[in-house]
Amino acid sequence: MDTFNTLRNIIQSRRSTKPALMNGKKIAASQIHQLLELADWAPTHGLTEPWRFIVYENTAIQKFCFDHAELYKANTVPDKFTMAKYEKLVQQGNTLSHIVLVYMKRSAGNSIPAAEEFAAVAAAIQNILLGAAALDIAVLWSTGGMTHHPAMKNHIGLAADDNILGLLYMGYTDEPLTEGKRNIPLADKIVWRS
Ligand SMILES: Cc1cc2nc3c(=O)[nH]c(=O)nc-3n(C[C@H](O)[C@H](O)[C@H](O)COP(=O)(O)O)c2cc1C
């Protein structure tokens, strides 16, 4: 029961933290590696293990954020483009320790439905988020900016069938954890049949 309570506390207290609330303190690369080891134990239909990670650290973070902003500029029609969003994308790295780009590598032969490989990668991400919560590491799973745009896929050299599931903005925060909020009562999400 103690193990269950520990796990429940981590799951329920895990919160998303915006990069703007992070303090610039660095996470040890060994801890990032430990989190990726947790990701590697996600369930995977047919053992295709479709999760892949690109870890940005040090000056690669600023470069990624600048490139992200440039992709936004190059792929946004002028009347939709805002300098504020461009600047936000450029500055986003300033408070971070690492960015982990997570993508789904579509398995050869397509024997497993793509939706199941997406699901496996999402489970891998949740493992990272929970491990991070246990280590007091702040994370935002973000799909903002150009994350889902084909230009981003192209920029990092993914194959047509591969897909980015998100950018994990990681660091530390001095802010207290916000209160968790769920709008739909759990009872409304469950049907018991007996
Ligand atoms: C697939 C996915 C994409 C998300 N993308 C964003 C995002 O682009 N920006 C953001 O602020 N939060 C993003 N989030 C985080 C959610 O906003 C957050 O999980 C939700 O508000 C619930 O808060 P909690 O994680 O603290 O429980 C995303 C979450 C998921 C699962």
Centre of ligand 1 from the C-alpha of residue 125, in Å:
12
Name every residue whose Cβ is closer than 8 Å to that of residue 46 and which is 6 or more positions away in sequence.
Answer: 107, 111, 112
Tell whether the model's pLDDT for residue 18 goes beyond 80. yes
Please give the share of the chain, as a percent, with pLDDT higher than 70.
100
Q: Output the ligand 1 site: residues, CB below 6 A.
A: 15-16, 140-144, 166, 180
pLDDT for 84 equals 97
Probe target for ligand 1 pocket from 99, 142, 182, with the most ligand atoms within 8 Å of CB? 142
pLDDT for 177 equals 86
pLDDT in tens, 120-137: 999 999 999 999 999 999
**pTM of the complete model:** 0.97
Mean pLDDT of the chain: 97
Residue closest to 138 by CA, chosen among 5, 11, 17 = 17
Token pair for residue 57? 């650290």
CATH class of the 25-175 domain in this structure: alpha beta
Q: Which ligand 1 atom is at minimum distance from the Cα of 145?
A: 8
Helix or strand holding residue 9 (H, E):
helix 2-13
